[in-house]
Amino acid sequence: MRTTKSNLQVLHEDNHLIIVNKRAGDIVQGDKTGDLPLSEIVKEYIADKYDKPGKVFLGVVHRLDRPTSGVVVFARTSKALERMNKKLRDRDMDKIYWAVVQGHPAPEKRTLEHHLKKNPKNNKSTAFRESGEGTKKGILHYKTLLKFDLYSLLEVTLETGRHHQIRSQLSACGHPIKGDLKYGSRRSNKDGSIHLHARRIAFEHPVKKTPLEVVAPLPPDPLWDICQERLSDD
């Protein structure tokens, strides 16, 4: 299911920010596919809800890969956009991702450090152990939340924000994300998604200066449902 203005999942909304739960398959900003991006759908939602004639301002604070789901933040004012961009640059924002990966990573809690190089021809990043021409350092931390027969659920936090960083680094250590054919998954998911979800984001509101934390519900999916049930039981 793709997002429309009528089924948009709004997680937080005020005069300065709107935070939504992106579905896998949505694109955040316009690209060469010509598909309607989430940013335009959010603009339509705002224009309808608040009866705003003319052009609606909406700033894209950050993006998620097309097959990824979860929290996406947009700014409704230029002031909020400028301050949120600074938070991103200063890494003054806590983001947690959940990833279902093949196998059982060992150790169960670990820091991964690679040097990533993007290939624009195939839109893919390769993770290397050593630095080289055109590489950028990528650092992430993961811990195992659940183990299944064939898969594990990991909680991932990023120190850097590189192209396809989580997908590339987890694949490089032998545990590609479920459904992610580009990075070595055994098979695709039927809906074209991958099991990577931007679960939580927390930061100080750029204008109100109050703490803001938003958690994105998991997509409707049998494996995600089992993860939710298992964690709720714990």
Candidates 111, 98, 108, 91; CA nearest to 71 is 98
pTM: 0.95
Task: Report the C-alpha gap between 146 and 153 in whole angstroms.
Answer: 5
Q: Which domains does the chain have, with CATH numbers?
A: 1-92+199-220 (3.30.2350.10), 96-194 (3.30.2350.10)
DSSP 33: T
DSSP string of 173-197, one letter each residue: TT-PBTB-GGGT-SSB-TTS--SEE
Task: Report the C-alpha gap between 125 and 115 in whole angstroms.
Answer: 10
Residues marked active site are found at 65
How far are the Cα atoms of 122, 131, 139 from residue 229, in angstroms, in the given order?
37, 42, 30
Tens of each residue's pLDDT in the chain, 234 residues: 889 999 999 999 999 999 999 999 999 988 777 889 999 999 999 999 988 878 899 999 999 999 999 999 999 999 999 999 999 999 999 999 999 999 999 999 999 999 999 999 999 999 999 999 999 999 999 999 999 999 999 999 999 999 999 999 999 999 999 999 999 999 999 999 999 999 999 999 999 999 999 999 999 999 999 999 999 876
